[in-house]
Amino acid sequence: MSVDIHQNWARNLAYSARHVARPATPEELAGVVEGAGRVKPLGSRHSFCDVADTTGTHVLLEAYDDGRPAAVVDQETGVASLRAGLLYGQAAVALLEQGRALRTMASLPHISLAGAVATATHGSGDTNGCLAGDVVGLELVTADGGTRTLRRGDADFAGAVVGLGALGVVTRVEMATDPAFEVRQDVVVGLPWEALLGELDAITGAAYSVSVFTRWDEADVAQVWLKSRVGGDAGQQERRPARDVLLELGAADAAGPVHPLPGEDPAACTVQGGVPGPAHERLPHFRSEFTPSSGAELQSEYLVPRERAVAAVEALRGLGPRIGPLLFAGEIRTVAGDDLWLSPFDGDTLALHFTWKQDDAAVRAVLHDVEAALLPLGARPHWGKISVTPPGDIAAMYPRFADFAELAARLDPAGKFRNRYLDALLSGERQA
């Protein structure tokens, strides 16, 4: 996508960086980091808040080459070593050429590996963790220009993966992969709310990845996207076709390809209608070769403990008349838990996503009501989306946050990788 690097993808945020660097070699990157006052890696610019902003130098890794293949798989372990600046779609294509596949993908294949991992970006599925959950190793350039490698089992690893860019510039990501597999995607419409609330576990467990789309003010659930591994899930065989489960609950087959945002061309979406294809061409909602929408939108997301899922859905339905007029689309997904310190998925989770019309004042006003309903249920805001909760209050939601703050201070004692967002987060200032 052609995007002004001085703005984020949605164009709701102008970056403050005085300089932009595109180092091509490890030596160039080390020199940029060592010589900068403040510095921040910038990925595909898909964060809607200023978590990736800096007043110093933005580092882009699009041209970075460390002399190793961009993607290489250890066929014995299935672990892939990947350049952190790759987009997920690019990584998936390179892995397929080596007979491997990413276990899960977000709705957009256009996001960078390092940025998605650093903010705990996720796809969907009862047994699928967030993208960071499949990381088994990281290489990063630290504040002094040196290189550090962390692997699962190291003392700092669980604190460094979802690192918000606070620890250094990640240059390489090692990820667990599966043997290449195929997925079919079916879409049903008009699911009754009573069925969703009464059979939530059956619905989210019906396929490898399930996404429920709603504007919250509708009589029925608008769409359910079912992504099933051909031949069954690697962890458990699909008990029966996912589509049949939903049809028995009162849904109907979509009449043809659909887009989750009303009025948008479904040509940008991945193939529907039950046609099998490579996992990376079905698990995202959008095709790599298309811009998924105009970008004139805002996004928020809240991650709720799975045991409070029904209460959260009912609370948002009650706010439907306020939410609906401001919303392009809402999405309900599930995410499995992990052990990463700043991952909001420390247990099985329901993810509640909002793609808003670009009316910042009105959206922030309704977010006060959304957060008043969801935060008492244990919800946490997504790191890369818009929230009205003060950063210090967000920090208090994470039991290991003090450990993360100590790690950040140890690896970056001068605060080279900090910015306004991280300053507020690490200060721990709470709302009065």
Q: Is 288 inside a domain boundary?
A: no
Cross-strand partners of 170: 140
* Phi, psi of 212, deg, nearest 5: -110, 125
Q: What would the two tokens of residue 196 be?
A: 């969703």
User: Would you give the DSSP letter of residue 332?
Assistant: E
Question: Which pLDDT score, from 0 to 100, does residue 236 have?
Answer: 46
- Reported as a pLDDT band with limits 50, 70 and 90, residue 261 is confident
pLDDT tens digit sequence for 198-224: 999 999 999 999 999 999 999 999 999
pLDDT tens digit sequence for 1-51: 344 578 998 889 999 999 999 999 999 999 999 999 999 999 999 999 999
| Count of domains for the chain | 1
Q: Is 360 inside a domain boundary?
A: no
- Greatest CA separation found in the chain? 63
What would the DSSP string read from start to end of 285-303? Answer: SB-TTS--S-S-EEEEEEE
Residues in the chain: 432
Query: By C-alpha distance, which of 88, 75, 154 is closest to 123?
Result: 88
Q: Is 48 inside a domain boundary?
A: no
Q: Is 91 inside a domain boundary?
A: yes
- Reported as a pLDDT band with limits 50, 70 and 90, residue 377 is very high
Secondary structure class of 306 (helix, strand, coil)? helix
Q: Is 257 inside a domain boundary?
A: no
Beta strands in 239-358, from DSSP E residues, in sequence order: 252-253, 277-278, 297-305, 327-335, 349-357
pTM of full prediction above 0.85: yes
Q: With 90 as the cut, is the pLDDT of residue 133 above it?
A: yes
Q: Is 16 inside a domain boundary?
A: no
Secondary structure class of 193 (helix, strand, coil)? helix
Angle, helix 401-411 to helix 420-427, in steps of 10 degrees = 130
**Containing structural domain, residue 163:** 71-179
17 neighbors 40 (Cβ within 8 angstroms): yes
CATH of the domain at 113: 3.30.465.10
Q: Is 159 inside a domain boundary?
A: yes
Cross-strand partners of 331: 213, 353
Q: Is 26 inside a domain boundary?
A: no
From CA 185, how far away is CA 217, in angstroms rounded? 26
Question: Which pLDDT score, from 0 to 100, does residue 232 have?
Answer: 58
pLDDT tens digit sequence for 384-427: 999 999 999 999 999 999 999 999 999 999 999 999 999 999 98
Rounded-to-5 percentages of helix, strand, coil across the chain = 30, 25, 45
* Phi, psi of 245, deg, nearest 5: -60, -45
Question: Which pLDDT score, from 0 to 100, does residue 4 have?
Answer: 58
What mean pLDDT comes out for the span 341-369?
A: 97
